[in-house]
Chain A
């Protein structure tokens, strides 16, 4: 009668790769919506175009590797990679830069190492760093947020998207750019004299970060990842910023709030460093992994050449993940004293 003779367990929980990836995509929605509100439809266009390129590339590579493409296209994993990359790109990045970035992510970041589950580095951050090094000008051209300038219309967005080289609307230095470029102004002078800083940490940016925080907390509630890495990263960043903030001299590292709610901090803490494939495995390992990223983000922001630092910090710690794993092997039931 054709009975199945598979191994136990015979029951399986509701979790699947598809569900995990879909949850991550859904969780980016609040952040993307707020970005669209402040910067216009540019980010959305990037995400859609990047997603199409990513799907096409994934299908192509799977065909070349003579594997079934279907399951891999349906599990949304490549869409997660491309979406995360596109969120990190400035709105109104030209289409070909988006395409190069997605191709770097999918091909260099992922498939060169064996595809889903084998990538030692966060693929979205690989793509981001390739772009940052190759196209530094375009990659720092963030548009001015709503409230400081007119937000482009959909038509303008298309024009900007298909432009040859660079966004020719109104670009404006981000709060982190201002901190980086600061020439001898006291912190209080800086934050009060520049409109970009807003109420908490930067016009637009503060709300974008809070929206990503909401999505991230929902993922945490859904048990898509554990709290260890994000909490460790935010705690370490807070601590570093506190230590480096000497009350507001011109050489200090910027207020804690700006570090926490500006740039890619929250997005990184909940969507980038929680990528399971390239992070440390155990919970203790993730604490170390997250904390180190927090410190690195601060160090690079305060002393490095780039205004934001998440991509570099994540890639550096991706290198260190196997090392962390080696030293954080958890104690097993029945092996010696309880810790």
Chain B
């Protein structure tokens, strides 16, 4: 053995590296078993960022499933209610390039709430079944109404209504939700240096 190493010194290096590999592999293996985290923490973090509209525009039945899909490598630009901001946050979390919103899944809209024109409602309960967050109250043959504070504006109740008595109205309006916006800055017409673009 010693003679072999004397003859081929590279074997010593190979043996050392192999040994180190085995030791660290064992440590890592032990750590992965010993410190295993329950559930899918990445999907949880992604779900935190998603707007929880539960609208299904991304093609998944709710935000949680989409979060899991993103964790498994799906695109981050399929969420119209979250819009640009959500994409930025996801890109930041996952350390990937932000992409523009995928128009296939819809466009970014003002947040809205559903409003049932109550005298036209026939009490079919179809919207109640469609609502992903149980924000519609009512019973069969009785008028339904939307709990405005709980409505996510997902649009899912509009389609099933047989008499088309549900409108989506903008959530924000009036003096209570008004606020100052950032001052307008000189539009920049050309980009020669980096700061010629958006705000620092």
Contact = CB atoms under 8 A, between A and B. Distances in A.
A114 B190 contact: no
Contacts of B200: 118
A112 to B, nearest CB: 6
Interface string A171-203: 000000000000000000000000000000000
The binding surface of chain B is classed by DSSP as loop
Interface string B172-200: 00000000100100101110111110001
B180 A114 contact: no
Given A114-B196, A118-B200, 11 more contacts: A7-B180, A64-B192, A65-B190, A65-B192, A65-B196, A66-B188, A66-B189, A66-B190, A67-B188, A113-B193, A114-B194
9 contacts: A7-B183, A64-B190, A64-B192, A65-B192, A65-B196, A66-B188, A113-B193, A114-B193, A114-B195
Interface of B: 180, 183, 186, 188-190, 192-196, 200
A113 B194 CA distance: 8
Nearest to A114: B195
6 nearest A-B pairs in the assembled complex, by CB-CB distance: A114-B195, A66-B190, A66-B189, A65-B192, A118-B195, A114-B193
Interface in A62-121: 64-67, 111-115, 118
Contacts of A66: 188-190
A26 to B, nearest CB: 30
Nearest to A7: B180
A70 to B, nearest CB: 13
Contacts of A67: 186, 188
Nearest to B192: A65
Nearest to A65: B192
Contacts of A64: 190, 192
Interface string A42-68: 000000000000000000000011110
A324 to B, nearest CB: 19
A113 B192 contact: no
A66 B188 CA distance: 8
B178 to A, nearest CB: 13
B179 to A, nearest CB: 12
Contacts of B186: 67
A66 B180 CA distance: 29
Q: Which of A7, A65, A112 has the most CB of B within 10 A?
A: A65
B108 to A, nearest CB: 27
Contacts of B196: 65, 114
Nearest to B183: A7
B181 to A, nearest CB: 10
A302 B195 CA distance: 40
A66 B194 CA distance: 14
A64 B192 CA distance: 8
Contacts of A114: 193-196
A23 to B, nearest CB: 26
